[in-house]
Chains A and B, each alone.
Chain A
Amino acid sequence: MKALVGALGAMAACAAIAQQPRSPAEEIERYRAAIGEANPAELWEARGEALWKEKRGPKKASLEHCDIGLGPGAVKGAYTVLPKYFADSDKVEDLESRLVTCMVTLQGFTREQARKDPFGGPGKKVPMDALVAYVTAQSRGMKMNVSLDHPKEKEAYELGKRIFFYRAGPHDFGCVTCHGSDNQRIRLQDLPNLTKAADAQRAYDTWPAYRVSQGEVRSMQWRLNDCFRQARFPELEFVSPASIALTTFLAHSANGGTFDGPGMKR
């Protein structure tokens, strides 16, 4: 990519060849390539790793024995099997939900405390963003492999699919409004068609992501919360059943794709 850009630049500089201005889409592609060279999400990953190992909460315990899908303490590749059914909580859980569960069971926080402040902001660093960045980064380069074998997993998928197609609110929007057709964009942002495997993989595999516009790492839970805000819905609650069902639908649709998060987005 970089070599190609260089070659185009050299051509444009050559007086014998009429200058061909690049299209806005090509320029945006150059922009993304340039900012992709260094992702500030690495700062969150480092903080998350320290938090994972730190003895916290009333029980003064670390999260190192948390089972996030591949057994207690296994972090590598765990994100690729989430969301999944956990027998101990008798629920389908996504990563954020599972971290809340471990903060309660291992560290002794109340559920209320563990769910509080799920998203960081200017001048406010929260543990959840950092933990999500750390855990997901340990699945980079691995294939998404979400199972629907358990009846509760299958049900979460089916509910998530219906939520995806559910239209409501003053704008009649649903997820499908922006994410149900090929090759569309909102302003200049490409919209993945989340009903198709290739697009679902491309989108899901790059969340969580460092959002350039906000200077924050944003989790999948945040992504869904903010989509519903812009779709003019009420506020989606953190690790709510609908959020986990929708994540199950999206994650399963992305199966087979290689996870490449935390990514970097506008």
Chain B
Amino acid sequence: MDRGRRSVLTGTGGAAVLGLAFAAGLLRPGSARAEAWNKAAFETRSLNDAVKALGGAPPTQSAEITLSSPDIAENGAVVPFTITSKLPKTESIALLVEKNPNILAANFQIPEGTEPWINTRIKMGQTSNVYALVKADGKYYYASKEVKVTLGGCGG
């Protein structure tokens, strides 16, 4: 197996996730699929910039959104989140991690008939605020929470 990979990771602090920025050249912007994928939004670094790239105005905080996860993740490579929106006409639910190199992790379109509820797993490079961003009736709303990421092991 690739021990070298592990030593590289260890050398930079042991986090399993280093960074998530990617080279724009790898995305083949010419293809139809890549155009459908919102490259600009996935390159942003702040909540407001991400919403702007998604075509919205700065979001407002909402108690109608529940962002649920453990407060401490044993490993940043897999952090489970459940997001529920009680906002009427919820159209999309996105997950954003403030301290990841690029803030937007995933964006789910919720058609009519699908519950505004998503359960998924994302990577976190370090302890960070996480946002659930919901588009409802054309406007953006968010909820946030901090998730601590711990390190571990004898070689870390």
Contact = CB atoms under 8 A, between A and B. Distances in A.
Interface residues of B, number: 24
A1 to B, nearest CB: 12
B16 interface: yes
Nearest to B156: A187
A162 to B, nearest CB: 22
Nearest to A178: B154
A24 B75 contact: no
A22 interface: yes
A120 B80 contact: no
Nearest to A9: B68
A212 B152 contact: no
B155 to A, nearest CB: 5
A31 interface: yes
A211 to B, nearest CB: 9
A230 B68 CA distance: 35
Contacts of A214: 16, 77
A28 B151 CA distance: 12
Contact of B155 (A31, A37, A122, A230): A230
B74 interface: yes
Given A24-B72, A28-B74, A215-B77, A188 B153 contact: no
B77 A212 contact: yes
A120 B78 CA distance: 19
Contacts of A187: 150-153, 156
A22 B148 CA distance: 13
A189 B73 contact: no
A213 B5 CA distance: 13
Nearest to B150: A188
Given A28-B74, A212-B77, A34 B152 contact: no
Q: Which of A35, A189, A213, A231 has the most CB of B within 10 A?
A: A213
A186 B75 CA distance: 14
Given A186-B154, A189-B153, A212-B78, A121 B73 contact: no
Contacts of A229: 3, 155
A124 B69 CA distance: 31
A266 B3 CA distance: 18
Interface string B128-142: 000000000000000
Contacts of A27: 70-72
B1 interface: yes
Contact of A121 (B2, B80, B121, B151): B2
Contact of A35 (B3, B80, B153): B80
Given A121-B5, A187-B151, A34 B74 contact: no
A76 interface: no
A120 B156 CA distance: 21
A122 B2 contact: yes
Interface in A1-52: 9, 22, 24, 27-28, 30-32, 34-35, 37
A31 B72 contact: yes
Contacts of B80: 31, 34-35, 37
A213 B75 contact: yes
A31 B154 contact: no
A231 B153 CA distance: 11
A170 to B, nearest CB: 13
Top 10 closest pairs, chain A to chain B, by CB? A31-B70, A230-B154, A27-B72, A187-B152, A34-B80, A30-B70, A119-B1, A212-B78, A121-B2, A121-B1
